[in-house]
Structure 1
Amino acid sequence: MAKIKQNSPVLFYFNHSKKWLAKISKKESFHTHIGIIKHSDAIGKEYGSRLITNKDKYVYLLEPTMFDYVMKIQHGTQIVYPKDLGYIVARAGIGSGQKILEIGTGSGSLTSFVANIVKPRGHVYTFDVDANFMRIAEKNIKKAGVSKYVTQHNLDLKTAKKLPLEDMDVALIDLGDPWVVIPQVRKMLKGSGSIFAICPTMNQLEKLTMALVDNEFTDIESTEHILRTIEARDGKTRHSFQGIGHTTYLCFARKAFFDRASRKISDKSDTVKAAKKTPKPIKKSAKKPAKKASKKSS
């Protein structure tokens, strides 16, 4: 069994609302409402063990999952929650070895989650224009242990004269105006490549959908995901009074080829052919007015 040692990541778990994520350091400790938790007390124990605090409370020593890292990252911006992350990965078919384009790094929650899936052969290329957010995201990505599989770019793809990537498997967009970058995203995606955009409002969703149609994307789907937890207890199981309601709308689509150019040529050709086949109208000769009969003199 894996033993906890210096620099091991540990989730100190008391209950759903009280849990602390830390990297073990012999000299570190922290004060909580359930007592003092010393890092040194965790060293040498197996994951799943528990510690007793000076207030006779206990915490479990759990090995952190990517869910834990996402929920505990430093928030510079609104994060994409696991309830949405799971659907994004499943719907887009994200897997090991894929090349992922991300526009709008934010706090790095989506970046870290996806990098953990595409590793070790895949890679996430993420773009942002805010240097402060990028520094926060860099720390969060490093804490999640996936820095090796992420490349950050400080570049505005809306105005970029030369696009830095091509043949991407999936594009993930988290911007206030995602429809603006759809033409650029299309050029960087492979044929049938997937796109997922995060839209906080329905107005954004509507503009985005129109842009997707204009730029030849198909299989367009918009969804919202609500998560409600259940408190299961002996004799009094019920829905939880707390939960994550609306966080965002998700828009999915795939790059296709509508052949609009060839259809225009074909339509023009058909029009010309039809014009040639149409018989010219026969000109009718003008009739000469009939001569009036002369009146005989009486």
Structure 2
Amino acid sequence: MLPIDPTKKISFTRHICDGDLVIVYERHDNMKAIKVCQGSVLQNRFGVFKHSDWIGKPFGSKVFSNKNGFVYLLAPTPELWTLVLSHRTQILYIADISFVIMYLEIVPGCMVLESGTGSGSLTTSLARAVAPTGHVHTFDFHEQRAASAREDFEKTGLSSLVTVGVRDIQGEGFPDEFSGLADSVFLDLPQPWLAIPSAGKMLKPDGVLCSFSPCIEQVQRACDSLRSNFTDLKTFEILLRTYEVREVKMDYSQGDETKPGSILPCKRPQRAIEGSNDQDKLSSQTVMARPCSEAKGHTGYLTFARLKCLS
């Protein structure tokens, strides 16, 4: 196992420096990761932005282009990185990630084993959770994916907290050097039941394992394998529903004032009109919330189990 240097910590520098990675925020559905380079420029529909103008500004700054357009420069947090990273594989999103970290009981100083690495979405959040003295050892059987993940962890400043290995965990299991040392194990594999016996050997007594699978048949086979050495089996499906909050105009003209009639969108406050008291009684503005018409559905099943303590 590689020694952990306690002096190497995740960077929380709040001012942008030459060579830093920033998340350029144009709007909620349009963000991109850019490396700051003295002398470089960013061109988009809002104009030309000089990187030299960014250096020295705090993360979160609003910066302007030559056309007086603007963007925001945000720090590459794991949440934002999940939204902008290159998708080499299907990734885990924020709702699943937060649930995984809580149920795996990951805290600073933990050692976590992960397979497979994929695009590194979960790995990035795991690294922040174990910082500054813990470590994440993640494995992928695909050499090019592993190399790309290493490059991403260098960009985001997490290379001191994450070690990426190339290994077929389903076929070979985890390296023996981690036997009995892992606080938790995460599996994102097509056949997790093949890796569960090895994962059990890696965990400390009372350690926790999580397996992510998109199909319930995979969950059933994984649970059959878990029952021999694990206890407290639980499976969850995380469904995320967001709400739209906006100002609307309530029209009471079709019924009693206590029972709203139609709901009309209100893009801006209505101007007061003299002598409009009667109309004011028939309509008013209010803030309403309703579920978004488009909601993310099923991503996968999360199965958790705790290693049995042998007396």
TM-score range, shorter chain: 0.7 to 0.9
Matches within 5 A, 1:92-241: 92-160=104-172, 163-167=176-180, 168-213=182-227, 215-235=228-248, 237-241=289-293
Distance 1:5-1:101 versus aligned 2 partners, 3 A rule: closer
Alpha-carbon distance in structure 2 between the residues aligned to 1:48 and 1:196: 35
Change over 3 Å in CA distance of 1:45–1:188 after alignment to 2:
closer
The answer on 1:65 being equivalent to 2:87 is no
Higher RCO (CA-CA < 8 Å; seq separation 6+): 2
Residue 257 of structure 1 deviates from its aligned partner by 4.6
**Are 1:254 and 2:254 counterparts?**
no
CA 89–198 in structure 1, closer or farther in 2 if over 3 Å, else same: same
Task: Say which SS state the counterpart of residue 164 (structure 1) adopts.
Answer: helix
Deviation at 1:30, TM superposition (A): 2.6
How far the C-alpha of 1:112 sits from its partner, in A, is 1.7
In 2, Cα distance between equivalents of 1:98 and 1:71 = 26
Shift of 1:2: 4.1
1:9-39 CA-to-partner distances (Å, cap 9, x unmatched) read 3222222101222221122223223333332
Change beyond 3 A, Cα 1:37–1:226:
farther
RMSD: 2.1
Q: Which is worse superposed, 62-71 or 89-98?
A: 62-71
Question: When you count strand as a share of all residues, which structure comes out higher?
Answer: 2
Counterpart-to-counterpart distance in 2, 1:163 and 1:3? 42
Query: Secondary structure of 1:137's partner?
Result: helix
**Aligned partners of 2:239, 2:112: CA distance in 1, in Å?**
26
Query: Residue 21 of structure 2 contacts residue 156 of structure 2 at CA under 8 Å; is this kept in 1?
Result: no
Query: How big is the shift at 1:205?
Result: 0.8
Unmatched 5+ stretches in structure 1 = 260-298
CA contact (8 A) 1:216 1:258 kept: no
Higher Cα radius of gyration: 1
Matched residue of 2:176: which SS?
Answer: coil
Could you say if the C-alpha distance between residues 154 and 2 of structure 1 is closer, same or farther in structure 2, counting changes exceeding 3 Å? closer
8 A contact 2:95–2:238 mirrored in 1: yes
Give the match for residue 282 of structure 1: none
Compute the displacement of 1:82 (Å): 1.3
Q: Name the CA distance, whole Å, in 1 between partners of 2:310 and 2:187.
A: 23
Structure 2: distance between partners of 1:39 and 1:211: 53
Structure 2: distance between partners of 1:243 and 1:34: 30
TM-score by length of 2: 0.77
Secondary structure, in 3 states, of the residue corresponding to 1:116?
Answer: helix
Q: Answer whether contact 1:157 1:163 (CA < 8 A) is retained.
A: no
Q: Where does residue 266 of structure 1 map in the other structure?
A: none
Taking the aligned partners of 1:54 and 1:9, their CA distance within structure 2 comes to 22
Q: Percent identical across equivalent pairs?
A: 35
**TM-score, length of structure 1 as denominator length:** 0.80
- Please give the secondary structure, in 1, of the residue aligned with 2:172: coil
User: Compared with structure 1, are the counterparts of its residues 21 and 217 closer, same or farther at alpha carbon in structure 2 (3 Å cutoff)?
Assistant: same
Q: Which runs of 4+ in 1 moved over 6 A?
A: none
Deviates more, 1:222-231 or 1:42-51: 42-51
- Contact (CA 8 Å) 1:74, 1:140: kept in 2 or not? no
Q: Is the 8 A contact 2:170 2:192 kept in 1?
A: no
Larger helix fraction of residues: 1
Tell me if structure 2 keeps the 8 A contact 1:70–1:113.
no
Count of residue pairs brought into register by the alignment? 258
